[in-house]
Amino acid sequence: MLPRTRIAQVLQSGVVGDKIAVMGWVRTKRDSKGGFSFLEVNDGSCMSNLQVIAEKGLPNYESEVMKLQTGCSVRVSGTLVASPGKGQKVELKGEEIHVYGWADPDTYPLQKKRHSFEFLRTIAHLRPRTNTFGAVARVRNSLSHAIHTFFQERGFLYLHTPIITGSDCEGAGEMFRVTTFDLQNVPRTDGSVDYGKDFFGSPANLTVSGQLEAEIYALSMGDVYTFGPTFRAENSNTSRHLAEFWMVEPEMAFCDLDGDIELAKSFLKFLFRHVLSNCREDMEFFNKFIDSTAIKTLEDLVEQDFEHITYTEAVDILTRSGESFEFPVKWGTDIQSEHERYLCEKVFRKPVVLTDFPREIKAFYMKCNEDGKTVRAMDVLVPRIGEIIGGSQREDDYETLRRRIEESNLSLEAYWWYLDLRKFGSAPHAGFGLGFERLLQFVTGMANIRDVIPFPRTPGNLSF
Ligand code: 4AD
Ligand code: MG
């Protein structure tokens, strides 16, 4: 039996006369009056289908080939012939067609018509067989590879930070608890839960960020990065929030906020350039069916400089804008996504790096500025999405950090090791977190974050 050739490879480098076998799923079948059929076969390796010609002479033509429908899985062995049709150079003349699995057209949910993304979410086990979700999966894969390439080429060390942790990185209390307690019968001492009897002997959570552990390694290995799943139990039912999402977090020793921003900008540009040159076919699909500005947006960004303003300047622009926002803006309040989008889409028409936020609205670990009011934080905002990156220079002064932990009502004991890093060989350091799904949303133009991750987890929703 011939080994399997991927359709991407056939369409890229197959030549007339090649004897090959492909395996995949039938997208459509057309029967021609002359006693043959055309099958469109897709194997996920690329957007395009391979056209297969099946002639009446095949031993199973009437018993099987004629009965093939959308969704059936097949192996087709045969010879590549010149394709008279537009678009592809070759098609496959089937000499042997084997059916692996049937798909009853009366019950197979993916029929030729276009389904809504809402409906497709209810069949997350089948949606990767659609053009859109196939393209999302390939771009997601390609960007994952590019992320590693970017950091590896720059000498960063890939660090595996824990999923289960005892600390809350963002100090926001938005964590999922990890326990083996029988919830009907939780051990208590004097009315309060006795975590000493739980699996780890203390409270444990799913991580909201790998940053704190990345800082440990940055302060011994120099430049590190993490790329893994993070979990947030925030009850945000928006098109930009997931309860489980993937984050890329570089952390650099001997680096300040300016160095952090420089890295973030070259990182994003590298990824946009990568997608433009490596995911052409999928990007053309997104450009045609999802967002007609998708490719142009990326092409412009690769050339453009990002705008850079401080939080205080942003508040000024927003209050003087005359816009009526749902959330009014005043110095000291959080910038909401409507404000972020207004700045990127209406004011500057490009990505914006916002820096120097009030310290009250930011996490305890951010380095305090000399003004005593703001911290060396930065958010990168992009059109349509708003915040895509959040980062900062870290507080490296022991006393200041200790005060910040106390001010934030966090426990000094829980952060003893984090404070230790400021006691022994402390050094300026900085890092950021890129939300991987927000990046994918931005690149593909997909409107809802639930459609750029294979199995979305959101409040009230865990069907797969
Ligand atoms: O701004 P955040 O909360 O920053 C941190 O977690 C830092 N510890 C990162 C660091 O400095 N190492 O989150 C970083 C990014 C956001 O800009 C956003 O893109 C994404 O993570 N993000 C989410 N993406 C999807 N769903 C959610 N619920 C998200 N929350 C944050
Ligand atoms: Mg943030």
CATH number at residue 443: 3.30.930.10
Burial 239-276 (b: 16+ CB within 10 A, else e): ebbbbbbbbbbbbbbebebeebbebbbebbbbbbebbb
Is residue 232 within 6 Å of ligand 1 at its C-beta? yes
Q: How many domains does the chain have?
A: 2
Q: Is the CB of 394 under 6 A from ligand 1?
A: no
Do residues 72 and 133 share a domain? Answer: no
Domain boundary residue, one of 67, 84, 101: 101
How far is the C-alpha of 272 from the C-alpha of 296, rounded, in Å? 11
Backbone angles phi, psi at 213, to 5 degrees: -70, -35
Q: How many residues does the chain have?
A: 464
Both 249 and 357 in one domain: the answer is: yes
Q: Is 213 in the pocket of ligand 1 (CB under 6 A)?
A: no
Query: Residues 245, 326: one domain?
Result: yes
47 C-alpha to ligand 1 centroid (Å) = 31
Helix (H) or strand (E) holding 391, with range, is strand 386-393
Say which residues have a Cβ less than 8 Å from residue 327's Cβ, sequence separation at least 6: 333, 336, 338, 339
**In this structure, which residue's CA is closest to atom 4 in ligand 1?**
390
| pLDDT of res. 274 | 98
- Regarding whether 135 and 86 lie in a shared domain, the answer is no
Q: Atom of ligand 1 at shortest distance to CA of 236?
A: 28
CA-nearest residue for atom 27, ligand 1, is 241
Largest distance between two CA atoms of the chain: 85
What whole-number distance in Å separates Cα of residue 249 and Cα of residue 416? 22
Sheet holding 307-310, edge to edge: 157-158, 223-231, 244-253, 429-435, 386-393, 374-382, 352-358, 307-310
> Which regions in the chain score pLDDT beneath 50?
none
CB-ligand 1 contact for 227 (6 Å cutoff): no
DSSP symbol at 386: E
Residues 56 and 163 in one domain: no
Q: Are 91 and 142 within one domain?
A: no
Q: Measuring from atom 28 of ligand 1, which residue has the nearest CA? A: 241
- Same-domain pairing of 293 and 145: yes
- One domain for residues 97 and 131: no
Is the residue at 193 inside a domain? Answer: no
Q: Is residue 182 part of a domain?
A: no
pLDDT of residue 203: 92
238 burial via Cβ count (<10 Å: 0-12, 13-18, 19+): exposed
| Per-residue confidence (pLDDT) for residue 402, from 0 to 100 | 97
pLDDT score, position 144: 98
Same domain, 310 and 442: yes
* Whole-structure pTM value: 0.97
pLDDT at 33: 87
Are residues 237 and 306 part of one domain?
Answer: yes
Angle at the Cα of 417 from the Cα atoms of 416 and 421, rounded to 5 degrees: 115
Which pLDDT score, from 0 to 100, does residue 464 have? 87
Domain range for 233: 127-172+208-451
